[in-house]
Amino acid sequence: MTSRSSTTTARPSTRGRAVARTQTLLKGRDGIGTVRRTTLPGGLRVVTETLPSVRSATFGIWANVGSRDETPTLNGATHYLEHLLFKGTAKRSALDISAAIDAVGGEMNAFTAKEYTCYYARVLDTDLPLAIDVVCDMLTGSTLETEDVDAERGVILEEIAMTEDDPGDCVHDLFAHTMLGDTPLGRPVLGTVDTVNALGRDQIARFYKRHYDPTHLVVAAAGNVDHAKVVRQVRAAFDRAGALGREDAVPVGPREGTRALRTAGRVEVLGRKTEQAHVILGMPGLARTDDRRWAMSVLSTALGGGMSSRLFQEVREKRGLAYSVYAYTSSFADCGLFGVYAGCRPAQVHDVLKICRDELDNVAQNGLSDDEVRRAIGQLAGSTVLGLEDTGALMNRIGKSELCWGEQISVDDLLGNIAAVTPDEVREVARDILGKRPSLSVIGPLKDKQTARLHESVV
């Protein structure tokens, strides 16, 4: 069990070194699950969660930059840069980076999202110093050689092609465009063939320098870790690279100013020779800071989060119209999306859409039953805890929480927020969100008459 704490320690400077400030954010029983944060001079934040009972550790660095921070001509630059940081530093070649982690049986990877990027390594606890050194070196010392930029371009174009070959994945990019249009959040994280081909080394290097300042970064480590040792190793690594920045630097504030989503009744169809039609019916959702997000999660789970959910029962179990059908939410700093996905035979697309629309309208008007809400709360609570059973998931939780919310929440408090959701709160958010006119994205081999009828699904 953990509890909130605000203990602050201002460590005295030694040999002229500036002061680092350490806080205990969550205090665990017997030290287990304790979360601490140290803010280094220059604004770099280091957060750790200690679990002495495990023999592994996951170390990651989160950058407060994603595809929404790109201009149209830079679309794909964040993801391109993610690839390039693995290509070599002044200290290590690309082979040296991968071989160092492979030699200790570790795992290393990275991912880029709309609002952040994360680089991480999972290793045995005894090899954590190596992981810290390698990942910090990648983040602070990348050389971004022109030949690497040119070579990696082909890899990224293949990744774009792979995504386009998977309509079940590609339809989510289409839905973002349907809802958000030609805006930073509406553009694909990977970029397009045209934008990736147009990106040059100098553009990417400027992007790197602007967005990888320590004030834009959060370092996170979870597992059998010692907070003070992690801080010392991270500080030493950034000191060697001269990357700690100014002592008076201020961390990046929250993103603001995105126009409100007013999309309603839009239909976008991408014709593809696929065996299935892939559809997403959806509407604006909630920002990640909205107090109603807990009720929204319960609503989404009850609608399409499991085998007992409304949509699964109506579309798959009772009628056999789809193998995969689910509801989901995407939340950003200042807006969000709610969507219902289904993959079905092209001839059944209108039947599937009608059932989905009818269920959304029904829940918007009449709400969910108390039993459905209780079941969804139980499912959401269980899946949340089960999803935190490894050090990688814990690192993701504390790193993303620090970057996106600037605070930590204990698992007990997280479960408490879910359990506190009432049926009336779920009904209220259902009326607000599901009562809006939806938009629709479809990928598949639809005929002209089928395409023309799709507008009926959003009327």
Residues with a catalytic annotation lie at: 82
Q: How far apart are CA 14 and CA 19, in angstroms?
A: 8
Name the 3-class secondary structure at 453. Answer: helix
Instruction: With beta carbons less than 8 A apart as the criterion, state whether 43 and 219 touch.
Output: no
Q: How far apart are CA 95 and CA 122, in angstroms?
A: 18
* Residue that has been written with the tokens 């969100």 in this structure: 433
Q: How far apart are CA 415 and CA 395, in angstroms?
A: 18
Residue 16 C-alpha from the chain's centroid: 39
Q: How far apart are CA 160 and CA 79, in angstroms?
A: 11
Counting beta carbons within 10 angstroms of the beta carbon of residue 178, is it exposed (0 to 12), middle (13 to 18) or buried (19 or more)? buried
Instruction: With beta carbons less than 8 A apart as the criterion, state whether 210 and 65 touch.
Output: no
Q: How far apart are CA 376 and CA 381, in angstroms?
A: 8
429-433 long-range CB contacts below 8 Å, 24 or more apart? 429/286, 429/292, 429/295, 429/296, 429/299, 430/299, 430/363, 430/364, 430/367, 430/368, 431/364, 431/365, 431/367, 433/283, 433/284, 433/285, 433/286, 433/296, 433/299, 433/338, 433/364
Instruction: With beta carbons less than 8 A apart as the criterion, state whether 66 and 113 touch.
Output: yes
